[in-house]
Structure 1
Amino acid sequence: MIGELLVLYNTLFNYLLLKFTKEITGLYVKKRRLLFSAFVSGLVSSIFYQTFIGAVLSFLLLIGLAFSFRFQTLLKQGTVLLVATFFLGGLLTSLLPFLLRQSDLIFFIFCLSLAVLSLTFIHSKWRNLTKERLQQSFVVDCELELFQNTYSLKGFIDTGNECVEPISGKPVHFLSYQAVEEKLPKELKVGLLTWNDQNPYQLTMFPDFMYPKIRVLRLSTVQKETSTALAFRFERLILYGNIKKEILDEYVVFTRHDARFPQNAQMILHVLALN
């Protein structure tokens, strides 16, 4: 009975480690293959309990049966699995003195719960780090020319921003009002603060020379909420950094919700800025 329990414990922990490794490395593997690999490895490690050869053989079988026996796989997935194994093993070992007096069932439940929670936490942190690195690649320095004024900004190219001005079909970008408030022309600032989205086509608060460059847009959020906003056609937008580009005669919408902008950006750029 002890042998069967040892195989069961090893299989469950092996499966958790394999699933964690699969998620981290982004490799698709069927669950039954992971389970089969976890069982075979758990069986071998139970037979050759506390021997170096058994540990090495169990590890190779765990990686090879789950992901293949290729050298590249052993190097990539094997490294992640090895680090996760040492982390989890060290964590459980450090808590072992506090659990020796508990029943086998409580001991097993606690260890399994700790393994699930710790690996889930690491995976969550890893995904956030990966997302952060990916977002940083879309950060650019911008120089916006609007109504003959120039603003130096930090922009973020949002692949989810596909908003366009319906008549011309030109892309629409989003600009933090707070980022440019001090440098805005007085007549534009007064107009923005006076304009009422309940009566959106009433634009008398803006100077006459701005009228040809103003468009009233209906915007839709991811949550399916709609709102009315004013878009202004700018003269030029220059992007610097990894992406060098000059954009002419597109539209920008002022927004007060810049706290939601990724990477502390001051301007959310249209996805076509990547082209």
Structure 2
Amino acid sequence: MTAEEARAAVRRHVGVEPGRTYSLGGAVVVSLSGGGQVVAKRGAGVNATLAEAAGLRWLGESGDVPVPGVHGADGEWIVLDFVAPGAPSVEAAEEFGRGLAALHLRGAPAFGSPPPGGPADAWIGLAPMRAEPRADWAEFYARDRIEPYVRDAVRQGLFTTGQAAVFDDVCARLPELAAAPEPPARLHGDAWSGNVHWAADGRAWLIDPAAHGGHRETDLAMLRLFGTPLLDHILGAYVEAARDAGSPLSDGWTDRVPLHQLFPLLVHTVLFGGGYARQALTAADAALRAR
């Protein structure tokens, strides 16, 4: 990815002449001739930018949680509003928790469904992710969020077939291990701490989604995975808002955190190996012991 390629993407999708650029992680921040800045990113693979654009539009349509505006996307690039960074605050954390509860309750057509206009073959970070409607959460979570990544990890030699059997046990027991049935939620899908962007406007924004219809406990479990700042304030406000909306979290939701962390841990296993494989095995054992 070069600065000139990023400028060309801005010309296509914003329609103004780009100015100075600088790198920001895996993206490029581009100044616009008329003022303001945008972010240009190249996708991880086929459909990645289209999936991200559809996800941001879906998550942002209600305004419950702020997300970057999408200027345009093609098969290779996406151009977004630049959101200046800031510092975490209790006020922003609690507002974010309330907004996330409302966003989840906007719902989705089915478990596993992609955002409107989004591709079925999507991405989570650098890993492929299938977005396909399923009859219920247990079927969706087993077939599209556990089994494909376990198979890939076994092929890579990261799990033995004996170790992989624990994931078979989890999948077989998912109807028992899951909470009481509830409608599919509108998920960000990759809500780890790095995708909660504390902004200069005093709010917490969601970025880089892997949006789909799923179980709201999955987003909450991801927030716990890598130490989101002010998490207790986020979750406290979330729990209160969900209860006030008449859709409280099911009893024992904190005990199910390992179950819902299996998906991101397995994704990290196939991408990075090492300690993530051990963490995934530990989470599977904990999920089986939770009931």
TM-score range, shorter chain: under 0.3
Higher radius of gyration, 1 or 2: 1
Q: Normalised by the size of structure 1, how large is the TM-score?
A: 0.19
TM-score under structure 2 length normalisation: 0.19
Q: Choose between structure 1 and 2: higher helix proportion.
A: 1
